[in-house]
């Protein structure tokens, strides 16, 4: 497969309209960027290029000269070339970046993104950079990786700082997106005490920073604050049903106390706050081994292994594509809405149905790429883990009314892109 086959296939939204750009102009903040420019940052040609030494030299020669900067988005990347014979990858560290908007100082913001090297953070960073803002990423690389933002390292608008948010940090900034926190169950349960410390002390430090610099503060909270909900779908004024001592408590209760802190600083110190309650999100750059259901299913199906469903498969989930989430986060940050806002996709699937959809899409992509399957992967059922919620679906009325935001990507479109991303990673040998 090549990234061009993704480009050739049309990307359609839920209403069948072609998606050519993401973002929008709202609340005086323009966040629209072309899908092609954005895609070139994660579905990059180097994932599929395998080159001999002579081809590498040819590629390097072609890269000479500034004139190439007027070419399409693929021309603005440092190249990383995979050598299958030696299972190695070579990087060219040239400082050539995707074009970013040139903003007047009055609209250019200094934006701090904690956890910016993670899955959600790196997509947010791409968007903010393309829009022309100054972005500082703060990350301890516990679950994130430098490679997710390496295409910005060296750019004059970008700074990457290795730092643990549990320790105080000082910087001048206008907006803080506070995302730092492991998000997948195996990662947040790996060191439960550290997860709570990150949620509590990390948020305390970042709120202190917001108070000192008068920056607007947005926290990425989660649908897990609703626990195993008794109300369906979940509106923001539902208080939740959380087990305070179960295996998921370090994350769920950590986020709940982080929200409490956020409103404490808001009410007591006048800090300008935004709270995004994010529901299940998936997309490229998601760690394929972190045990989240979307990546599990895709990786198993691509490898031709049976797909594991925990429980009877009747529990439901809703899944939102990463670009919709980033639209929602940026809209929320720049709106006047200081109450918590659910950001998620309401299309609900049983896990069993979802497994079948993933299998169908993987088969479609494999067929398009001419891969013959030896056998159809099976869906197998295993016992359900403790405290796994049975039902989860966002009520997004508030986001619709306050932010004029609604998800645009169908689950199918998002899954197709993600399958292609993982497939390319596999053929490169890095997964």
3 state SS of 180: coil
**DSSP-assigned letters across all residues of 100-157:** -----TTT--EEEEETTTSHHHHHHHHHHHHTT-EEEEEE--SS--GGGTGGGTT-TT
Is residue 140 involved in binding ligand NAD (CB under 6 A)?
A: yes
Nearer to ligand NAD, 163 or 232 (CB): 163
Q: Among 22, 38, 125, 183, which residue sits at the site for ligand NAD (rule: CB under 6 A)?
A: 183
CB of 385 to ligand NAD, least distance (A): 17
251: annotated active-site residue: yes
3 state SS of 382: strand
Q: Among 98, 112, 113, 117, which residue sits at the site for ligand NAD (rule: CB under 6 A)?
A: 117
For the window 281-300, what string marks contact with ligand NAD as x by the rule CB under 6 A? x-------------------
For residue 15, give every residue at least 6 positions away whose Cβ sits within 8 Å of its Cβ, in sequence order, or none: none
Q: Among 135, 278, 341, 415, which residue sits at the site for ligand NAD (rule: CB under 6 A)?
A: 278
* CA–CA gap between residue 278 and residue 280 (Å, rounded): 7
Is residue 280 involved in binding ligand NAD (CB under 6 A)?
A: yes
* CA–CA gap between residue 181 and residue 118 (Å, rounded): 9
Q: Any idea how long the chain is?
A: 431
HSE value, Cβ hemisphere, 13 Å, CA-based, for 283: 23
Nearer to ligand NAD, 63 or 347 (CB): 347
DSSP 8-state class, residue 200:
I
Cα–Cα nearest to 426, from 329, 301, 340 = 301
Q: Among 120, 125, 275, 330, which residue sits at the site for ligand NAD (rule: CB under 6 A)?
A: 120
* CA–CA gap between residue 10 and residue 12 (Å, rounded): 6
CB of 289 to ligand NAD, least distance (A): 12
* CA–CA gap between residue 11 and residue 38 (Å, rounded): 14
For the window 225-264, what string marks contact with ligand NAD as x by the rule CB under 6 A? ----------------------------------------
CB of 341 to ligand NAD, least distance (A): 13
* CA–CA gap between residue 40 and residue 199 (Å, rounded): 33
Nearer to ligand NAD, 74 or 410 (CB): 410
Catalytic residue among 47, 177, 188, 251: 251
Going 185 to 191 to 195 to 196, the CA torsion angle's sign is: positive
Q: Among 77, 157, 198, 316, which residue sits at the site for ligand NAD (rule: CB under 6 A)?
A: 198
Nearer to ligand NAD, 76 or 319 (CB): 319
Nearer to ligand NAD, 49 or 182 (CB): 182
Which residues are tagged catalytic?
Answer: 251
The binding site for ligand NAD (CB under 6 A) comprises: 115, 117-121, 139-144, 164-166, 179-183, 198, 202, 220, 222, 278, 280-281
């Amino acid at each position: 497969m090549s990234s061009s086959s993704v480009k050739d296939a049309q990307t359609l939204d839920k209403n069948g309209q072609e998606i050519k750009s993401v973002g929008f102009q709202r609340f005086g903040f323009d966040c629209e960027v072309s899908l092609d420019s954005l895609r070139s940052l994660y579905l990059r040609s180097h994932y599929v290029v395998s080159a001999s030494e002579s081809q590498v030299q040819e590629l390097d020669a072609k890269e000479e000269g500034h004139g190439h900067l007027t070419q399409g988005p693929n021309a603005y990347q440092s190249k990383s070339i995979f050598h299958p014979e030696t299972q190695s990858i070579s990087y060219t560290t040239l400082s050539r970046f995707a074009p970013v908007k040139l903003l007047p100082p009055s609209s250019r913001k200094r934006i701090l993104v904690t956890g910016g090297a993670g899955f959600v953070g790196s997509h947010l960073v791409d968007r903010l950079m393309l829009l022309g803002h100054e972005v500082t990423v703060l990350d301890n690389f516990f679950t994130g990786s430098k490679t997710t933002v390496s295409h910005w390292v060296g750019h004059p608008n970008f700074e990457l700082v290795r730092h643990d948010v549990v320790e105080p940090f000082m910087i001048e900034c206008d907006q803080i997106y506070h995302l730092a926190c492991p998000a997948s169950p195996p990662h947040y349960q790996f060191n439960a005490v550290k997860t709570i410390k990150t949620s509590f002390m990390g948020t305390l430090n970042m709120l202190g920073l917001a108070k000192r610099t008068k920056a607007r503060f947005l926290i990425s909270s989660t649908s897990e604050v609703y626990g195993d909900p008794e109300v369906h779908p979940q509106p923001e004024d539902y208080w939740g049903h959380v087990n305070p001592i179960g295996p998921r408590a370090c994350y769920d209760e950590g986020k709940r106390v982080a929200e409490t802190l956020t409103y404490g600083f808001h009410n007591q110190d006048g800090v300008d706050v935004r709270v995004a309650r994010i529901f299940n999100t998936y997309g490229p750059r998601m760690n394929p081994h972190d045990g989240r259901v979307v990546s599990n299913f895709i990786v198993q199906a691509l490898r031709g292994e049976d797909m594991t469903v925990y429980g009877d498969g009747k529990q439901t989930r809703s899944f939102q594509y990463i670009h919709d989430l980033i639209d929602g986060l940026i809209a929320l940050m720049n709106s006047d809405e200081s109450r918590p806002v659910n950001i998620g996709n309401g299309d609900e699937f049983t896990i069993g149905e979802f497994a079948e959809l993933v299998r169908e899409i993987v088969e479609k992509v494999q067929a398009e790429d001419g891969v013959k399957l030896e056998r159809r992967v099976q869906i197998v059922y295993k016992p359900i883990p403790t405290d796994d919620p049975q039902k989860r679906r966002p009520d997004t009325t508030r986001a619709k009314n306050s932010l004029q935001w609604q998800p645009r990507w169908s689950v199918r479109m998002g899954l197709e892109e993600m399958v292609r991303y993982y497939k390319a990673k596999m053929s490169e040998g890095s997964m």
